[in-house]
Structure 1
Amino acid sequence: MLGRRMTKQIGFTPPGLAPGPDGPVRQRHVFYLPGYDPEATKRYRALFARELARYARRFDLPRRTITRAETSPDGQSQTWTVEAGRAGWDTRTTYEVLLWDDIVRADFRRPLILSMALLAAGILHGIVTGKLFRLYGLNWKYGNVILYPFGMTLALAAAATGLGILAARFLGDLVPGPAAAVLGALAGIGAVLAATPLLDRIFLRQLITDWVFNWQHSNGWREDYAARLDAFAARVAARIAARDADEVMIVGHSSGALTAVEVAARVLAAGGGPGPGSPRLAVLTLGAGLPLVTINPRARRPRADIAALVHSDRLVWADYQAPQDWMNFPGFNPAHDHGPVPEAAVIANPVIRSARFRELIDPAVYPRIARRPFRMHFQFLMANDLPGDYDFFALTLGPQSLRDRVLAPDIVPLRADAEPVPAHRVI
């Protein structure tokens, strides 16, 4: 059953993984699914370009060009093209961010007080049903991240109550008692709302609305999101049908990892995926938070989507985890940790590997990055300081297919003239 304590060893190669190797990739189409982020339209092109420039300064990638981003007329995707290469290979990658930040921003427009009330309802539901305790069993650090916005909500409620009582007492000599009580309550609520800009700086609103979204999604209450998944799947299926790439890769980071899985499952259900002359289909999940949704037994569709990928040989799914990252579930194996597997079932996915951030980040800056959970969480999308098996740009821009890269990575070396990483650099 989901929620049992997992083995902490990170690494799994499914016995039913379709045989390879696949051969070199010259043309690739990457569909990137952001997590729950209200600024995805602005964030990911800038992050990608900045980190690719850093990567090229340190690693042997002498040829690279990147185009400007173009947003689709419907506002649901943002696309650019990257050409990259070094001795012996060249690739052309179309990188397309599938956008659902308009849905996130709509959640952000919900009154903060209402979001806090929904958070309290979701957390209390998790406590009563035991789901919160099972999440703690999977990763106590992520459990603390989950409780942080709830604890802050209780603290803010207490502060608002205290301020309201003080205001009511002050006003008691000026206006009748009932009016003083009403004005005091409004003063307390107003103080919380006035602090909203500060709360946004410490990510409180994002964590609150993120938790509420996952709770709603797990209960099947987000038809707007489900409709967007269908639209994304249609976009991916059309690219596969165009047959103009060697590999179509769906990449999801953080809560976007579940989005990537849900999109891929819809593509398979609609008959998409590999066929004669069609591109290989690959799914890459990074720092995934799948149990945040699937730990709820009512999350039947997401769990079925995960199972569809686990038992399908029509794609390759690779999942990278990191014990240094507070906001993923290292050791979680979707093939086994959702409950007993039927004896006759073929386990074809996912291939699970550790990103081993401690070996990829310069030791001089690692301790400071390790103290910043959000920064470490985004390391999955950033340039390494040192060569290693996990290499975001080799995975998405390199000549190896996802299957070949994960099973037998061709490590990209440092440039001969690469300068040491400045000891003060902490992004």
Structure 2
Amino acid sequence: MPLSDTIPDRPPGARAARTHDDGARGPVRRRHVFYVPGYDPEGRTRYRMLFVRELTLHAKRFGEPKRRPGRAVMGADGLSQRWTVAAEPEVGGAETSYDVLLWDDIVLKDFARWRIVSVLLLFAGSLQAIVSGMAVKFYRLNWKYGNVILYPLGLILLLTLVSGLIAHQIHAHLGDGFGHSMQWPAWVTVPLGLVAGLVWIKSLDVLLERAFFWQLLNDWVFNWQHGQGWRRDYETRVDAFAALVVDRLAAFRTEGTELDEVLILGHSTGALTAVEVAARVLAADPVIGTGTTAFSLLTLGSGLPIVALQKEARRVQSDIASLVVSERIVWVDYYAPQDWMNFPDFDPVERLPLDLGGRPPRNPLVRSAKFREIIDPETYLKVRWRPFRMHFQFLFANDRRGEYDFFAMALGPQRLGERVTGPRIGTATATGP
């Protein structure tokens, strides 16, 4: 068994101490969640359906009343999709408003570019990662993710090799110089062979999509470009997300609505986006995190090191450093050793060149989701070699009760810091069927 599969929980040390008094505030009655999806071209359709489906399964598995989310409404600016979930007194569930922050239009633009351009960008990014030693660092952090990162490059090289062989065979059998050939000139057979090789690759499109080839290729290219500081479109969107959060919180204050917790939540590539948004919200809003409203950041299955370990990613490193030392936010990062697309037990304080200005680190609290304990053994055996299915387990309903419970954190009666560092209450104390 790989070492990463046996990584223990990080003990709640000094960085956890500040959250022990959250329980004195009482249970959460009203929460607002800002959810950031990962690098997904179907962001505005997938996550609403996933949320409703898994919330229904959660209630069924643990014998809880059904909590029906309200109608989804697109924000006027087109940057968010919103709905609400009513409180559920029987299980202590908080009234929760939920914003999905959308950036799938940026992803779709990446998918729409010429594929040869994407392939060339893949080669450039992979070459830099190999020469600079970044690829080795990724493998040391998680060999599974290292394989996922190099998978598109390896498959491209294999497809290119096979296409070359096809082109060579066509030229050999139709061209001149071979006794059994048709004696066609090279200016005919060479282009014909190249076309045949390309047609063969094109015929594999459906299989490549099912194997998430283009998804992973474009995701890697995006993260490489982001780390190099070349994604101005994305940076502009992160600024817009931060402004949206600040405006929403200001509107709540104007309305006199008292929130017990504001939770920014990101999964996969969206975990880093959530970090960047949270840092900019803290910089723009001097009130958040200073009063009775807890300000929390939850990152799930994060690929943060892919960007943050790049030397040019100074803005990202600065955002992370601001959260690490902040007393106004609780940042909890959940990883899973069984997830191929995250970095188990990665602590940015220990692994990144952060300038903390001499201030002590307070975040993040790094925790294992312990998928082996919350997934039924039969189901686990079926999905353990399906990377995307395991990666999305962070957003699925548990099969069994456990410390990690997506819906307990998003909809339950406890603040994030209190739940992670103190005794769990409400729905979390019940046992599964």
**What is the TM-score of this pair, normalised by structure 2?**
0.89
Counterpart of 2:178? none
For the pair 1:410 / 2:425, whether they are aligned, the reply is yes
Letter in 2 for 1:177: A
Counterpart position of 1:39 = 42
Worse-superposed segment, 24-33 or 333-342: 333-342
Once the two structures are superposed, what CA deviation does each residue of 1:158-180 show, in whole Å capped at 9, x if it has no partner? 12212222333455347532243
CA distance in 1, matches of 2:281, 2:355: 23
Q: How many angstroms apart in 2 are the aligned matches of 1:272 and 1:14? A: 28
> What is the CA distance between 1:328 and its match in structure 2?
0.9
Residue 92 of structure 1 aligns with which residue? Answer: 95
Deviation string for 1:197-242 (max 9, x for gaps)? 2201110010111111111111001011101101100111112223
Matched position secondary structure for 2:367: strand
Provide the residue aligned with 2:108 in structure 1. 105
State the shift of 1:68 in Å.
2.1
Q: Which residue matches 2:124?
A: 121
Matched residue SS, 2:96? strand
61, 64, 67: which one pairs with 1:58? 61
Residue of structure 1 in register with 2:272 after alignment = 258
Q: Look up the match of 1:72.
A: 75
Show the counterpart of 2:138: 135
Match of 1:334 among 348, 354, 360: 348
Contact kept, 8 Å, 1:389 with 1:411, in 2: the verdict is no
Higher helix share: 2
1:310 and 2:324 equivalent?
yes
Q: Which moved more, 1:171-180 or 1:210-219?
A: 171-180
Q: Aligned match of 2:212 in 199, 203, 206? A: 203
Aligned residues: 413
Query: Which of 234, 241, 251 is the matching residue for 1:225?
Result: 234
**1:73–1:187 distance in 2 versus 1, CA, 3 Å:** farther
Quick one: which amino acid aligns to residue 198 of structure 2? Answer: I
When residues 279 and 415 of structure 1 are mapped into structure 2, their CA distance, relative to the original with a 3 A threshold, is: closer
CA distance in 2: counterparts of 1:415 and 1:24, whole angstroms: 17
CA contact (8 A) 1:248 1:280 kept: yes
Matches within 5 A, 1:361-372: 361-372=375-386
**1-side partners of 2:127 and 2:287: how far apart?**
41
CA distance in 2, matches of 1:14, 1:55: 32
Distance 1:34 1:49 in 2: 15
CA distance in 2, matches of 1:138, 1:276: 36
Aligned equivalents of 2:41, 2:151: Cα separation in 1: 20
Question: Could you say what secondary structure the match of 1:108 adopts?
Answer: helix
Partner of 1:185: 194
Corresponding residue of 2:10: 11
Instruction: Check if 1:163 corresponds to 2:147.
Output: no
Indicate yes or no: 2:238 matched with 1:234.
no
Contact 2:325 2:356 in 1 (8 A): no
* 1:260-279 equivalence runs, <5 A: 260-272=274-286, 274=288, 279=293
**Counterpart residue number, 1:388:** 402
Amino acid aligned to 1:201:
R
Q: Which residue of 2 aligns with 1:28?
A: 31
TM-score normalised to structure 1 length: 0.91
Distance 1:330 1:415, change over 3 A: closer
Q: Report what 2:368 is aligned to.
A: 354
Q: Relative to structure 2, which stretch is displaced further, 349-358 or 180-189?
A: 180-189
Corresponding letter in the other structure for 2:12: T
CA distance in 1, matches of 2:240, 2:354: 32
Q: Is the 8 A contact 2:289 2:295 kept in 1?
A: no
Residues 343-370 of structure 1 show CA distances to partners (whole Å, capped at 9, x for unaligned) of: 8322111111111111111122221121
Q: Which secondary structure state, in structure 1, belongs to the residue aligned with residue 94 of structure 2? A: strand
Deviations, residues 127-179 of structure 1 (Å, cap 9, x unaligned): 11100001111111111111111111111111221222233345534753224
Q: Match of 2:225? A: 216
Answer with 273-282 or 109-118: which moved more.
Answer: 273-282
CA distance in 1, matches of 2:380, 2:173: 52
Q: Which residue in the other structure is 1:82 paired with?
A: 85
* Cα deviation, residue 275, structure 1: 5.7
In the TM superposition, residue 330 of structure 1 has moved relative to its aligned partner by: 0.8
Kept in 2, the 8 Å contact 1:161–1:188? The answer is yes
What's the CA shift string for 1:66-119, capped at 9, x where partnerless?
112112233321111111424373421111111111111111112222212211
Distance of 2:292 and 2:171 partners within structure 1: 70
Using the TM superposition, give the Cα deviation of residue 8 of structure 1 relative to its aligned residue in structure 2, in angstroms: 4.2
Contact between 1:10 and 1:321, CA under 8 Å: does it hold in 2?
Answer: no
Tell me the distance in 1 between the aligned counterparts of 2:91 and 2:199: 63
- C-alpha separation between the residues in 2 aligned to 1:260 and 1:120? 28
Instruction: Encode CA deviations 1:253-282: one digit per residue, 9 max, x unaligned.
Output: 111100100111111222355266573221
Preserved CA contact (<8 Å) 2:15 2:364: no
Q: Look up the match of 1:425.
A: none
184-193 vs 355-364, which moves further: 184-193
| 1:388-407 CA-partner distances (Å, limit 9, x unpaired) | 11110000000111111111
Kept after mapping to 2: 8 A contact 1:60/1:412: no
Which of structure 1's runs of 4+ aligned residues deviate more than 4 A? 275-278, 340-343, 413-416
CA distance in 2, matches of 1:367, 1:325: 13
